[in-house]
Structure 1
Amino acid sequence: MRNTKRAVVFAGDYAYIRQIETAMKSLCRHNSHLKIYLLNQDIPQEWFSQIRIYLQEMGGDLIDCKLIGSQFQMNWSNKLPHINHMTFARYFIPDFVTEDKVLYLDSDLIVTGDLTDLFELDLGENYLAAARSCFGAGVGFNAGVLLINNKKWGSETIRQKLIDLTEKEHENVEEGDQSIL
């Protein structure tokens, strides 16, 4: 049995709560001892209280990370209508997550197996690990599943660099934050 909890981050808003719940349930079906951070602006505390009980029975925990005020003002328009402003929330992971390594998962995916091998991947000096994108503009990676070197992101102020680049380029990128990352 594992003693350390593995950090996982989701981001979304209350309008997307069913997708978030489905993704979390699929994750917990195949994995335990998780510390799940949910970056959000409007999900009620009552929802967190209910889900937290379920996770604690599995040796896990759920952290409500509210992105409010000047910390998270999104004025980045995007040419792709399917991109919600909450997708940019992943920039703020180092502000909330204390673990050195964190797995970011999009809220609209289904986990179909044990992710232990992914969590144990050695990131070395890399900022993150991701799967190469099969679709989209140019060569890149899919930002829906990211194993992030959170220690490096924090020490090298990656959040601010991402914000600065997004402010400068948000009207010129094809795939929102995925292009920026």
Structure 2
Amino acid sequence: MKVIVLNGDCDYLNQIETTIKSIMVHNQDVKIYVINPDIPHEWFVNLNYYLKQIGAEIVDKKVDPELLDQMHSSRNHISTAAFGRILIPKLISEDKVLYLDSDIIVDANLDAVFAIDFGENMLYAVPDFYGPHKFDEQGYVIDDEIGEYNTGVLLINNKRWREEKVADRLLEMGKNDNHG
């Protein structure tokens, strides 16, 4: 089963629904978690009525908005709800998780993404288009220089994140005004 995590709040429901529809057009056997502080549970019940007919499921993962309100971002346009993604190891039990920003359109099947072997890697991320990266023929970064990555698409080794207590460390960093 493909485990995908989205994150957002009630104000972002249209984008979340669009992302879910784009996932379902190209994929089967999907479980989608939505980390959120305020989306009504009835929305999940109604959506599951349709998703279960095609072998998919959507799961409501509530977070305490006060916990997220402690987070600081260096960018004004980023809401505190965006920090819900760092709670994935605390909220999701599966070992391999694909995190997608809730405004992404999936235009292909994701089987190849879920077939990626982590080895000892903690995650795979998409390099920022403008970053100083060199790529091999498969599109993987081959240079050792650490550039910027788009955190809107993350294939997470959730088992390692739990073992390494990544969520706790990121929460501490997010509370500090100098990070974000």
1:16-165 → structure 2 map (5 Å cutoff): 16-68=12-64, 72-135=67-130, 139-165=147-173
TM-score for the superposition, normalised by structure 2 = 0.86
Give the SS at the match of 2:69. Answer: coil
Three-state SS of the structure 1 residue aligned to 2:31 is strand
Partner of 1:14: 10
In the TM superposition, what is the alpha-carbon distance from 1:131 to its structure 2 partner?
1.2
Following TM superposition, the consecutive aligned residue runs of length 4 or more in structure 1 with deviations greater than 4 angstroms are none
Note the residue ranges of structure 1 that are not aligned, 5 or more in a row.
Answer: 177-181
Q: Distance in 2 between matches of 1:81 and 1:73?
A: 15
Partner letter of residue 128 of structure 1?
L
Aligned equivalents of 1:69, 1:20: Cα separation in 2: 18
Amino acid at match of 2:178: N
Over 3 Å counting, the alpha-carbon distance change for 1:161 and 1:77 in structure 2 is closer
Corresponding residue for 2:142? none
TM-score of the aligned structures, taking structure 1 as reference length: 0.86
Equivalent position amino acid for 1:121 in 2: I
The match for 1:179 is none
| Equivalent-residue separation in structure 2 for 1:61 and 1:80 (angstroms) | 33
Give distance in 2, aligned partners of 1:133 and 1:111.
Answer: 18
**2:172 is aligned with 1:172:** no
**CA–CA distance in 1 between the matches of 2:153 and 2:29?**
19
Q: Deviations over 1:82-107 (max 9, x none)?
A: 21111111111112211110000000
Number of positions where the alignment pairs a residue of Structure 1 with one of Structure 2: 167
